[in-house]
Structure 1
Amino acid sequence: MNKQTILFLGAGRMAEAIISGLLARKQDHLEEIIVTNRSNAERLQELRGKYGVTATHDWKAQVAKADTIVLAMKPGQVRESLLELGPLVDGQFVFTVAAGIGTGLMEEHLPAGTPVAWVMPNTAAKVGASVSLYTYGKEVKAAHKEVLEMILDGIGIYEECTEEQIHQLTAVTGSAPAFLYRFAEVLETAAKEFGVSEEQARRMIVGMVYGSALMLKDGPAPAVLRDQVTTPGGATAAGLRVMEEREFPALMKEAVAATNLRAKEMAKE
């Protein structure tokens, strides 16, 4: 695989997370990273200073030199960007990380034969721990797959899915970290109410989440691990009973459904 010049259209948190992961783990595969946005010069300067990337507002002048183009803007901005990008694309591999944007929309607005893909990473890409779901368009060849898998390997683990599966799993892998952070936030607040400092509460909760994640990674199924912590009639069982009484499983399913619905709405706006 030749070294890649990658152009990011968008300079938000997800673009930064991918850039950070690539530079930390796949530097040997990179010729240049170019990042751009429409108006925020301060943000571009920040990324240039932090990562040494090429930063510019004139993204159209950079398209010809790019091997791979990443659409890293909000879902509602993708259609407009595709319309502007279409006349400039000449065989580059284009993929988006925007929620709700499938390969069909990209193929519709880009020249016939353009290889495209849709990727749903999460912000843990910044520390090389993203779970990225991806699907390819009709024109993707083996060389494009090699490039995408190199990028995804640089930011974590990855799973190829159908487009419909990505639509449905967006909440599970892309948005669910926010659910976990909210859970941790509530536990930190509870800990502080018992008299520990904010720093102590943070260490406690982070350690608990980290240790539990390691157990999930290398151990048995979540239900088995839960039972290992829970003595029938004991303290943990009392807490779990409250969660069941408050219909915690139904709550999580509703959160997933709401996330997926909003992602589809945003793609149409």
Structure 2
Amino acid sequence: MSRFRSLFSLLALAAVLTVFGCSQSKPNVDLSLSDKQLDWVASKIFQNECSGEVDCLVHWNEGEAFPSLGIGHFIWYPKGVDEPYAESFPALVKFMKAESVDMPDWLAKMSPLDAPWPDRDSFLNQQSGPQIEFLRWFLDETKHVQAEFMYSRAQESLSKILDATPEDQRDAMRQRIDNLRNTAGGVYALIDYVNFKGEGLKASEAYDGQGWGLRQVLERMGEVDKRTALARFRQAAADVLTQRAENAPRAIERDKWLAGWLNRVETYKEVGPSPG
């Protein structure tokens, strides 16, 4: 990792810890990526979420009560919407402010930071208007900053997961994380999944008491070594997502979304640029 990347990562991490209301101590999990690797991870996540299409950078999925924005499809709740999924777009905006990123005035000054469209129909009626078009352009121009946000968020999320793990299980959990974080493919899987389905630490992020976040995937892996870790993570993610769809109160998760989720986790393989 370059000296610039190391310095920038520490600064970005301090900013994101402030965003999430945590102390600014260094997290106890370190993910190391070169510039080339981080760009590769960002392009993979953009492909997963948007098939590389700029129009998808500001999008509202059918069957959802909120829009999704950016290369990571960060969730943004309208006023009054309360869903069991972790909202992430406001945290991205705060991260960008901490990094002194120029952004649209209306977005920078918005308080409270609620999505300006109350429902999907309202969004669709305005999706070709200047506000949404400019927002798409802005998110296209700031893909690297979004990647830095996801990179720092993943490190903090892994630290939170370790802290929430019972002490007698913590060494095994750390071993699974270590086996994944030592390869580019494993780091990509960790960053993508926590951005995709959250940490799995909130009781609200569960159906029938069964969560679907990164914590649940790591727990389901069981004992692994470096050689088998990524394949086991891929299978555990597929199992957790299938369980979620089966428990879901809405048929759309089983009938429409699950196939795409499973295709996504199949990309968690050891490919991409070599370290350095």
Taking structure 1 as the reference length, what is the TM-score of the superposition?
A: 0.26
Which has the larger strand fraction? 1
Which structure's CA Rg is the greater one?
A: 1
Identify the structure with bigger relative contact order (alpha carbons < 8 Å, sequence gap 6+).
Answer: 2
